[in-house]
């Protein structure tokens, strides 16, 4: 079916013929083409050469596309590979997708999501393959690709290839990513303001070096699993989490296991200190353990007392207990310190301390930090940023996104009404890192389950909201998240929740209103 206003790349030749006659490598100097194929709707594409650590061996494609993959050098000791997927039914839009962790992994599910919605979509390996950081070792060029160059290079090239393929100018250009991808989006706005008209940047891993130091700090706090005062996942999940909910769940008026605004929760673990009871079954905490819990939630400070990175937001402990507090070094922090920061493959993560943090911050490998105090170039060319953060994020504290907002507002001299013109930040209660969680977390923030079962419409979908904002000037005031029963679309909608833009807060209308009815909550100002 041909939708009105959509370009269809047929001409006289079929789309398949036009695809197979395309020679992208002839238009990109020094490039090597590794794939060119017409992929009919419904194909389950497989990627036999994809690095196994990426855990992305196949992807179902729901529309007819032309798929081209290219490799190009970025220096005499680095290269990127990238995929450009060109849908037969094209909206005139391009979409670039981000990466995660310290990878190295093309997010095929996000590329498939982009083409399914009419975007010509690109994804890169970010300069190296796989989830490990060992390629960074003694090769700053690979770190530079990771920090910004792979995304920028592939974006510039894929935009021109897209225009060439369809024989029409582009309408608008977008970015979608979460975590490291969120950082890539913010970095692009800062460094290459012309690359994107609209950037959807979830749970951004900004202030990257300090984030990785903060993450590395947990293992020395918790110790290894067998160490004397180690707090088990069970104790985190029950004793500590239950006490935290006792103190903070009903601050929002609803006992539902979700803390609507964790900035209001000043969790004190002291009531858990063992008195007459002993901590043998984990029902209370030793003095050392109470101290550990405090350290986990406290802001992380430099020796001179200034903030390095904000503390973990309360509410994330159930998953963090198996991750950052799980009694083993955080793998991506180990990779980052060993290979990018210290160039010491034998570095022992149990010895991490503030000297390492200082080295990382000073070196700032590849200019990765991503901590702008202004995005005025991006704003003045009309660029828009939509960011969101799960308030049960177990890998990047959501307080860091509050901090970025405040930093930009202060740096640009903007009040929130002025920020709203180009930068909107939505807090998502009950969402873990980027997706899943007990809250209404389906927002269209990526491929797979994050976009299934909801319409591609601005009210429900962050990418659709961004398109409306850029192309029609209609900015999203809130985003309606959806929770499916058992996170299965087939089971139907459990509830919806309206996620407010910062600094507004979601406030319950009070007794008598069904908390699962989205209209029982309002976005209200946080000013008293």
Give contact residues for ligand NAG (rule: CB under 6 A): 12, 29-30, 34, 44, 46, 49-50, 58, 60, 71, 76, 79, 81, 125, 129, 302, 304, 306, 351, 353-355, 358
CB 509 within 8 A of CB 520: yes
**Which residue in the block uniquely carries the two structure tokens 């009070």?**
510
Sign of CA dihedral 378, 382, 383, 389: positive
Give the one entry of Ca ion, ligand NAG, none that residue 230 binds, where binding means its C-beta sits below a cut-off of 5 to 8 angstroms depending on kind. Answer: none
**Residue of 415, 384, 388 whose CA lies nearest to 402:** 388
Q: Which of 249, 356, 393, 402 is catalytic?
A: 393
Question: Using the rule CB under 5 A, is 66 a contact of Ca ion?
Answer: no
Nearer to ligand NAG, 347 or 508 (CB): 347
Any bridge partners for residue 123, and if so which? 83
Closest distance between ligand NAG and the C-beta of residue 237, in Å? 32
Nearer to ligand NAG, 58 or 281 (CB): 58
Q: Which of 154, 179, 401, 416 is catalytic?
A: 179
Tell me the C-alpha distance between 391 and 7, whole Å: 40
Nearer to ligand NAG, 150 or 504 (CB): 150
Question: Using the rule CB under 5 A, is 261 a contact of Ca ion?
Answer: no
Nearer to Ca ion, 258 or 284 (CB): 258
Give the one entry of ligand NAG, Ca ion, none that residue 249 binds, where binding means its C-beta sits below a cut-off of 5 to 8 angstroms depending on kind. Answer: Ca ion
Per CB under 5 A, which of residues 317..336 are in contact with Ca ion?
none
Residue 433 annotated among the catalytic residues of the structure: yes
Closest distance between ligand NAG and the C-beta of residue 77, in Å? 6
Neighbours of 312 (CB within 10 A): 26
Q: Is 511 left (phi over 0), alpha (psi -120 to 50) or beta?
A: beta
Identified binder of Ca ion from the candidate list 110, 249, 317, 379, rule CB under 5 A: 249
Sign of CA dihedral 443, 445, 448, 454: positive
Question: Using the rule CB under 5 A, is 391 a contact of Ca ion?
Answer: no
CB 187 within 8 A of CB 147: yes
Give the interface segment with Ca ion, choosing from 161-169, 190-198, 250-258, 420-428 (CB under 5 A).
Answer: 250-258
Any bridge partners for residue 309, and if so which? 300
Nearer to Ca ion, 258 or 434 (CB): 258
Tell me the C-alpha distance between 200 and 97, whole Å: 10
Give the interface segment with Ca ion, choosing from 13-21, 32-40, 253-261, 277-285 (CB under 5 A).
Answer: 253-261
Residue 393 annotated among the catalytic residues of the structure: yes
Question: Using the rule CB under 5 A, is 254 a contact of Ca ion?
Answer: yes
Nearer to ligand NAG, 81 or 332 (CB): 81
Tell me the C-alpha distance between 494 and 487, whole Å: 9
Supply 152's token pair: 């920028």
CB 391 within 8 A of CB 259: yes
Question: Using the rule CB under 5 A, is 252 a contact of Ca ion?
Answer: yes
Closest distance between ligand NAG and the C-beta of residue 361, in Å? 7
Tell me the C-alpha distance between 506 and 504, whole Å: 7
Closest distance between ligand NAG and the C-beta of residue 159, in Å? 16
Closest distance between Ca ion and the C-beta of residue 470, in Å? 35
Give the one entry of Ca ion, ligand NAG, none that residue 34 binds, where binding means its C-beta sits below a cut-off of 5 to 8 angstroms depending on kind. Answer: ligand NAG
Question: Using the rule CB under 5 A, is 504 a contact of Ca ion?
Answer: no
Element (H, E) at 184: helix 180-191
Nearer to Ca ion, 447 or 481 (CB): 481
Closest distance between ligand NAG and the C-beta of residue 130, in Å? 8
Give the one entry of ligand NAG, Ca ion, none that residue 252 binds, where binding means its C-beta sits below a cut-off of 5 to 8 angstroms depending on kind. Answer: Ca ion
Question: Could you tell me the CA-to-CA distances from 324 to 132, 184, 296, 332, 441 in Å, in that order?
Answer: 17, 23, 10, 11, 22
Closest distance between ligand NAG and the C-beta of residue 217, in Å? 12
Nearer to ligand NAG, 37 or 358 (CB): 358
Tell me the C-alpha distance between 340 and 358, whole Å: 14
Cis-peptide into 92, omega within 30 deg? no
Closest distance between Ca ion and the C-beta of residue 259, in Å? 6
Question: Could you tell me the CA-to-CA distances from 175 to 48, 54, 240, 353 in Å, in that order?
Answer: 27, 21, 39, 36
Q: Is 352 left (phi over 0), alpha (psi -120 to 50) or beta?
A: beta
Give the interface segment with Ca ion, choosing from 8-16, 231-239, 245-253, 494-502 (CB under 5 A).
Answer: 245-253
Supply 463's token pair: 């990418």
Q: Which of 389, 433, 460, 497 is catalytic?
A: 433
Tell me the C-alpha distance between 486 and 160, whole Å: 43
Give the one entry of Ca ion, ligand NAG, none that residue 358 binds, where binding means its C-beta sits below a cut-off of 5 to 8 angstroms depending on kind. Answer: ligand NAG
Let me know the angle formed at the C-alpha of 273 by 319 and 256, rounded to the nearest 5 degrees. Answer: 40
Give the one entry of Ca ion, ligand NAG, none that residue 81 binds, where binding means its C-beta sits below a cut-off of 5 to 8 angstroms depending on kind. Answer: ligand NAG
Classify residue 2 as exposed, middle or buried by CB count within 10 Å of its CB (0-12, 13-18, 19+).
exposed
The residues carrying an active-site annotation are 179, 393, 433
Contacts with Ca ion by CB under 5 A lie at 249, 252, 254, 256, 258
């Amino acid at each position: 079916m041909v939708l009105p206003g959509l370009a269809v790349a047929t001409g006289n030749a079929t789309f398949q013929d036009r695809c197979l006659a395309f020679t992208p490598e002839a238009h990109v100097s020094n490039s090597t083409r590794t794939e060119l194929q017409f992929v009919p709707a419904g194909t389950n594409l497989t990627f036999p050469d994809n690095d196994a650590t990426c855990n992305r061996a196949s992807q179902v494609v729901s529309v007819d596309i032309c798929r081209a993959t290219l490799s190009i050098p970025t220096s005499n000791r680095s290269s990127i590979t990238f995929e450009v997927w060109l849908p037969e039914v094209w909206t005139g839009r391009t979409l670039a997708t981000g990466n995660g962790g310290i990878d190295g992994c093309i997010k095929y599910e996000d590329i498939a999501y982009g083409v399914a919605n009419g975007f010509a979509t690109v994804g890169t390996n970010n300069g190296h393959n796989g989830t490990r950081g060992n390629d960074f070792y003694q090769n700053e060029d690979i770190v530079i690709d990771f920090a910004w160059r792979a995304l920028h290079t592939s974006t510039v090239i894929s935009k021109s290839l897209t225009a060439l393929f369809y024989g029409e100018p582009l309408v608008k250009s977008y970015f979608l990513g979460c975590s490291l991808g969120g950082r890539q989006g913010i970095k692009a706005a800062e460094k290459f303001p012309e690359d994107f008209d609209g950037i959807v940047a979830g749970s951004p891993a900004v202030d990257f070096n300090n984030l990785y130091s903060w993450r590395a700090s947990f293992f020395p706090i918790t110790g290894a699993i067998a160490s004397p005062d180690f707090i088990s996942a069970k104790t985190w999940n029950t004793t500590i989490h239950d006490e935290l909910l006792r103190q903070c769940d009903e601050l929002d008026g609803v006992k539902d296991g979700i803390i609507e605004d964790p900035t209001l929760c000043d969790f004190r673990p002291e009531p858990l200190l063992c008195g007459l009871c002993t901590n043998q079954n984990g029902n209370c905490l030793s003095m050392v353990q109470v101290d550990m819990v405090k350290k986990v939630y406290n802001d992380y400070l430099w020796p001179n007392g200034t903030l390095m990175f904000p503390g973990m937001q309360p509410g994330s402990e159930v998953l963090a207990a198996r991750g950052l507090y799980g009694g083993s070094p955080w793998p991506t922090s180990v990779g980052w310190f060993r290979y990018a920061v210290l160039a010491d493959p034998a570095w022992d993560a149990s010895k991490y301390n503030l000297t390492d943090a200082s080295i990382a911050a000073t070196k700032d490998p590849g200019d990765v930090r991503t901590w702008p105090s202004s995005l005025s170039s991006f704003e003045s060319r009309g660029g828009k940023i939509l960011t969101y953060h799960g308030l049960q994020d177990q890998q990047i504290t959501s307080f860091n996104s509050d901090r970025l907002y405040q930093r930009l507002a202060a740096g640009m001299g903007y009040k929130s009404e002025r920020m709203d013109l180009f930068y909107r930040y939505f807090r998502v209660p009950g969402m873990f890192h980027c997706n899943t969680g007990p809250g209404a977390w389906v927002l269209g923030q990526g491929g797979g389950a994050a976009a299934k079962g909801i319409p591609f419409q601005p009210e429900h979908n962050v990418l659709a909201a961004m398109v409306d904002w850029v192309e029609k000037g209609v900015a999203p005031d809130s985003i309606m998240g959806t929770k499916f029963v058992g996170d299965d679309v087939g089971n139907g909608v459990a509830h919806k929740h309206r996620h407010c833009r910062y600094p507004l807060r979601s406030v319950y209308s009070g007794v008598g209103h069904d908390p699962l009815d989205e209209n029982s909550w309002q976005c209200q100002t946080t000013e008293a």
